[in-house]
Structure 1
Amino acid sequence: MKWYVTLLAGGSLALSSCMMAREARVESDYSYAGQFRRYRTYEFISGDGINSDTSRLGSTVRDAIRNRLKIQGYRTARRRPDLLVNFRLFEGDMRFRGYAQEDFSRWVKAGYSEDEETPNEDRKGYQPVRLLLQEGTLLVTLIDNRTNRAVWNGYASGVSVPTGPQGEIVLRRSVRSIFDQYHIFTEGYLSGQNTTSETDE
């Protein structure tokens, strides 16, 4: 799926110097093949950079994501999670390909999803939009573990991360702003039907 490759390919990113303070720009993209109503569990991807960073900044981002997903009814699962969570912090300017799409919440509420059997004439199609994300970007990607394809991408640009405790505050606020774009609760959670605590399933 080109969308997944493009969003995560490091070669498509043009990075420059250090981050500077400015108001964050927050946006998101999603895959029409995402099964958002069935996702209930998640786990973080291990890897290089801040995603595997055991420093306070890396831990701050993971904790902020974990807390937000818990509020929305998601549970961690070490085995066979529905979603894999990846995040990365880029310094400087970044050229990025986004997509012009209808409101994500409306799309999920409509219950429509594309798969391999969806006729070509019924597919929505992706309309690329070239973006210049300035002076530092925090990128969060949700990946469908079953298909190994990215289904949602949220990003905040213009993120200045100073040293010390203030940097942790900035990252927590950035995560909160990003997940305001992913306003999806797990099915049955708000009505009390999905209240199981963290699981290792």
Structure 2
Amino acid sequence: MKWYVTLLAGSGLLLSGCLMSREARVESDYSYAGQFRRYRTYEFISGDGINSDTSRLGKAVRDAIRSRLKIQGYRSAAIRRRPDLLVNFRLFEGDMRFRGYAQDDFSRWVKAGYAEDEETPKEARKGYQPVRLILAEGTLLVTLIDNRTNRAVWNGYASGVSVPSGPQGEIVLRRSVRSIFDQYHVFTEGYLSGQNTTSEADD
């Protein structure tokens, strides 16, 4: 079953604003074809704006994602090695319409070890139940992409993210990333038991 990166329209970078006046809405959705226990390495997708290395806000998001993935056993792909996951993130301003999915709890899905593929019988497939959402006052979206299939396998998003200028904006984004990754309860296989360790620095 094909699962595509969520397309978002009518958006722009939020470079200024006020502090978050209320708790952000944080949710996620995932692909039933994701091989979540197989992923061990990652790399960021480069781009313009907040995704660029020269953006301070972009660096804040990258550092926060890097720190969280390291805690969960992931490591940055070494030079010349193909990463398991590609990480993309975008920051959108204002209210926006978003299509999410009504799904079983992600942690239970991963723990059960299920993963659909082309050989999964049609009657055994879960199927996606779209849910239309209104995300308000700025949204930070993080997408994990399976590099082998080039398909998105997980979206995490926080709405109500208003980013002020200066250092306070970096703090807001780091907190938002932590909240988003609280939805991604996946440690690499063997990491918690000490079997999957690495001496490579992620910094």
The two structures have a TM-score, normalised by structure 1, of 0.90
CA distance 1:56–1:11, shift in 2 (3 Å): closer
RMSD of equivalent CA atoms:
3.1
**Which piece of structure 1 moves more, 82-91 or 15-24?**
15-24
- Distance in 2, matches of 1:126 and 1:89, equals 25
Q: 1:160 Cα deviation (Å)?
A: 1.1
**Aligned pair in 2 of structure 1 residues 133, 156: CA closer, same or farther (>3 Å)?**
same
Task: For residue 165 of structure 2, give the secondary structure of its aligned residue in structure 1.
Answer: coil
Q: Is the 8 A contact 1:25 1:158 kept in 2?
A: yes
CA distance in 2, matches of 1:87, 1:177: 14
Post-superposition CA distance 1:49-108 (Å, at most 9, x none):
2112522111000000000000000000x5210000000000001100000001000000
Preserved CA contact (<8 Å) 2:17 2:163: no
* Structure-2 change in CA distance of 1:80 and 1:197 (3 Å): same
Of 127-136 and 9-18, more deviation after overlay is shown by 9-18
Deviation track 1:99-158 (CA, whole Å, cap 9, x = no partner) reads: 000100000000010001100000000000000000000000000000000000000000
User: Does the Cα contact within 8 Å between 1:96 and 1:131 map onto a contact in 2?
Assistant: yes
Change (3 A) 1:49 1:116: same
Q: Name the % identity.
A: 90
Deviates further, 13-22 or 184-193: 13-22
Deviation at 1:183, TM superposition (A): 1.0
1:32 matched to 2:35: no
The 3 A distance-change label for structure 1 pair 168 and 52 is same
Q: Contact 1:20–1:136 at 8 Å: present in 2 too? A: no
Out of 161-170 and 102-111, give the one that drifted further: 161-170
Residue 49 of structure 2 contacts residue 55 of structure 2 at CA under 8 Å; is this kept in 1?
A: no
Q: Give how far 1:193 is off.
A: 0.4
Which one of 160, 163, 166 corresponds to residue 161 of structure 1? 163
Q: Give the SS at the match of 1:86.
A: strand
What is the rounded CA distance, in whole Å, between the counterparts of 1:127 and 1:196 in structure 2? 39
The 8 Å contact of residues 27 and 181 in structure 1, kept in 2 or not, is answered as: yes
In the superposition, relative to structure 1, how do residues 58 and 17 fare at CA in structure 2: closer, same or farther (>3 Å)?
Answer: closer
- Gapped runs of 5+ residues in structure 1? none
Shift of 1:7: 4.0
Q: Give the structure with the larger helix fraction.
A: 1
**1: CA distance, partners of 2:138 / 2:101:** 20
Cα distance, 1:109–1:7 mapped onto 2, change above 3 Å: farther
- Give the length in aligned residue pairs: 200
- Counterpart in the other structure of 2:20: 20
2:46 alignment counterpart: 46
